[in-house]
Amino acid sequence: MDTPAWLMDGRVNIVCGDFELDDASTINVGGCGYTPNSADANAGRAPGPGAGWQSGTGRIAPSYGGWGSAALSRFYPWIAPLIGAPYGSLAAPVQPGSAGGYGYSSSSIGSPGGGAVRIAATGTVTVNGDILADGGWGGTGAVAGGRCTGTGGAIWIDAGAVKGSGLLSADSGAVDNSTMGSGGRISVTWNAALQDALDAQEGGTPALRFSARSKDNTNGTRSYGKPGTVYFTDARLLGAEFSPERGVSCGEVHCGDWSQWNPQSLTVSNA
């Protein structure tokens, strides 16, 4: 089945000099990517380039920044080749997230993928509010079962320099009793010289927070997808400490230049 065209109703594209999102403001394209269609239930691939197969036994969640989960591939080997592969650009992501497929029936509805946000600024981008491109919520309850969550979407900030303490999130959707899609893609790029000057003026690097995880839920998660990706021009935003208050709480981190990151010690925890 051909992938349906995505209607461009979940995209925010800002081209500017300077840009500021204050702490009372939010850009939210959650659940605005590829969307399940009831006509697709139990009928091949769900919408989106990374979407998995949907059938009465399939339950293959979609991929974007990482691989989606294939809950039953160990029992049904024919499922494995049908898993949608990760797609899109690491450093310049612009594509929306793929939809989660239906489960056992047309009443077992998956969730949509996240939309796409791009901010292209020649000057400074200040983010103290939230920029959200999470996959959507697809309902509750285990009665129909087997549904899949949509992937996270895309956030790309390309600026002269960045500052702030806001959250950038491209997590997967959340659906009870489900198989989880992957996280999306986040990229923040800047001019190194302009960022050096701003960091000196501000007395340190930005305390921005980033998440591109495959979410869990409280009612019967069947299996998890992989985290998405987070890309930076260099490693200065990682800092010396990882915590929910600063840096990358979940995501596969890539940097164009790792030379600025040289911690004295590193603790990895599954807490």
Confidence of residue 103 (pLDDT cuts 50, 70, 90): low
How are beta strands 44-45 and 53-54 bridged, if at all? antiparallel
Confidence of residue 57 (pLDDT cuts 50, 70, 90): low
| Percentage of the residues of the chain whose pLDDT score is greater than 90 | 47
Strand partners, 232: 188, 255
**Residue 141: predicted pLDDT:** 45
SS3 for 80? helix
**Residue 260: predicted pLDDT:** 77
**Residue 109: predicted pLDDT:** 74
Q: List, in order, residues 6 or more apart from 201 with CB less than 8 Å away.
A: none
- Is the model's pTM score more than 0.85? yes
Of 3-7, 95-99, 249-253, 260-264, the one with minimum mean pLDDT is 3-7
Q: Dihedral through CA 196, CA 200, CA 201, CA 207, nearest 10?
A: 80
pLDDT digits (tens, 9 = 90+) for 146-168: 678 899 999 999 999 999 999 99
**Residue 14: predicted pLDDT:** 96
